[in-house]
Amino acid sequence: MEIDYNLLMLTAKEASKMSYSPFSKFAVGAAVLAKSGKVYSGCNIENSSFGMTVCAERCAIFKAVSEGEKEILAVAIYSPNEEDCYPCGACRQVMYEFQGDEEINIITEKEGKAIVRKMRDFLPFGFKIGSGV
Ligand code: THU
């Protein structure tokens, strides 16, 4: 499938506007392209009980999976607070779970340009039950 990286980044940007982050004031938006071709957006949602916070990437992935998606082709991440904003370790693990035959593309933005990297750059030797040798 042809992936429109700029559209995904635009969707992540729009989603970051919905961020509920009164504590960190660090807004994040994400956009997930599922194998079906559908795009799901998400934002970080914080909580007064800080540990309950959910990252933008997991929000978008959980939306996708709860709509029946099982494979993810790309995840775009955007923060107005930081250029080239990378996914946290927990989100990398959650992404890895939904990697199918095609490796997930992870999209960030630097100097206004979409940067595309591969899942393996962020999580080499990832853990998934059933994928070992
Ligand atoms: N955050 C994300 O949404 N995604 C990440 O990958 C890193 C961190 C959020 C969580 C929290 O609301 C804020 O950024 C500061 O950590």
Asked if 12 contacts 76 with a C-beta cutoff of 8 angstroms, the reply is: yes
- At residue 133, the pLDDT reads 62
CA pair distance 121, 17, nearest whole angstrom: 28
Q: Transcribe 16-76 into DSSP letters.
A: HTT-B-TTT----EEEEEETTS-EEEEE-B--SSGGG-B-HHHHHHHHHHHTT---EEEEE
- At residue 105, the pLDDT reads 98
Catalytic residue among 57, 69, 71, 97: 57
- At residue 93, the pLDDT reads 98
**To test the ligand 1 pocket, which listed residue (20, 23, 24, 45) has its Cβ within 8 A of the most ligand atoms?**
24
- At residue 130, the pLDDT reads 85
* Terminal Cα-to-Cα distance of the chain (whole angstroms): 29
For the chain, list residues with pLDDT below 70.
132-133
Return the ∠ at Cα 13 (arms to 32 and 47), rounded to 5°. 80
Structural domains in the chain plus CATH codes: 5-122 (3.40.140.10)
- At residue 89, the pLDDT reads 98
- At residue 18, the pLDDT reads 98
CA pair distance 43, 28, nearest whole angstrom: 6
- At residue 111, the pLDDT reads 96
- At residue 43, the pLDDT reads 99
Placement of tokens 């970051």 in the chain: 16
Strands 105-110 and 72-78: parallel
CA pair distance 98, 70, nearest whole angstrom: 6
Percent of the chain with pLDDT over 70: 98
Ligand 1 neighbourhood includes 46 CB (under 6 angstroms): yes
CA of 133 to the centre of ligand 1 (A): 33
Q: What is the rounded (10 degree) CA torsion for 128, 49, 65, 82?
A: -80
